[in-house]
Amino acid sequence: MPDARTPLWTAEAIASATGGRLHGPDASISGLTYNSREIAPGDLFLALHGARDGHEFAAAAFAAGATVALVDRPVEGGPYVMVPDTLKGLEALGVAARDRARLRGAVTGSVGKTSVTQAIKAGLDLAGSSHASIKSYNNHIGVPLTLARMPQGTDRAVFEIGMNHPGEIGPLSAFVRPHAACVTTVGPVHIEAFADGEAGVAHEKAAIFEGLAPGGIAVVNAADAHADIVRQGAEKTGAVVRTFGHAAGCDARLLHFVADSEGATVTAELDGRRIEYRLAQSGVHWGLNSLCVILMLQALDVSL
């Protein structure tokens, strides 16, 4: 169980993880952010390069309570860890923190990935200490940042992975190195970036399985129009494939979804066993979403 008294990082540990050099005294760090307006006392300020150069806000971050900054050039106002590239430094921090979680899951999809990620997190919470993406922190900054924010002693974690262009999901999954991963749906989102339309989106989504740890589990929506592409992508990695859908033969099969004023009742078969449960959500898409969540929780060693 994570201990609130244990610092998330120390400045020396950050220097060691990133290959950087600490300028100033060692210090304890309780959080990380790249937004100087979100600084809380004890945070590490990440001076990333974006529309504005984060180094311009280092002084404001220190004034707001930042303990240390991660930079690629000297700044004033407090101690800093100097690295050649701050984004690469953040990635290195994420990789260094990855094994703080015994089991890790990853979620992608054209629709539903944020809500499914949060539903998985709710299940993980019932089984022990857990960690997850917040908001839609699912890109080249959000994924390593979520990893780097993971406390010591986390039992299980789940990460949302998104994309805007081809070739993004595979490297992000490699950062997470999940033990289980799922694709919620494939649809015409960011389709303009793919010459072969939705099929290209499906191949990109299936790249989430490329980062699976050995023996990892791939959870596939058998009801999706592009299920064959996604499943083939999973099988190429040697993953154990688990399916959810409406048809006989699915590992998790939706039988009935009955909505009412307080949510819905789901009747399903899980590995041939009939189960029934309540949902707070009444949208019909939550029938299949909930089966995806259950398969992911099983894969992350959470009992039914």
**Domains assigned to the chain:** 9-93 (3.40.1390.10), 99-299 (3.40.1190.10)
Task: Output the pLDDT for position 164.
Answer: 83
Cα gap 36→23, rounded to integer Å = 20
Cα–Cα distances in angstroms (integers) from residue 107 to residues 57, 61, 142, in the given order: 33, 32, 14
Cα gap 17→58, rounded to integer Å = 21
Contact residues for 75 (Cβ-Cβ < 8 A; gap 6+): 47, 55, 58, 59, 69
Cα gap 203→179, rounded to integer Å = 20
Task: Output the pLDDT for position 195.
Answer: 63
Record the pTM: 0.93
Task: Output the pLDDT for position 137.
Answer: 85
Write out the H or E segment, with its range, that includes residue 265: strand 263-270
How confident is the chain (304 residues) per 10-residue block, as mean pLDDT?
Answer: 73 98 97 95 96 95 97 97 98 96 96 94 97 88 96 96 91 97 86 75 96 97 97 97 97 98 97 97 96 98 96
Cα gap 163→140, rounded to integer Å = 9
Chain centroid offset of residue 257 CA: 28
Task: Output the pLDDT for position 285.
Answer: 95
Sign of the CA dihedral running 106, 104, 141, 83 = negative
For residue 69, the SS3 value is strand
Terminal Cα distance for the chain, rounded = 21
Among 285, 132, 166, 154, CA closest to 221 = 285
Task: Output the pLDDT for position 44.
Answer: 98
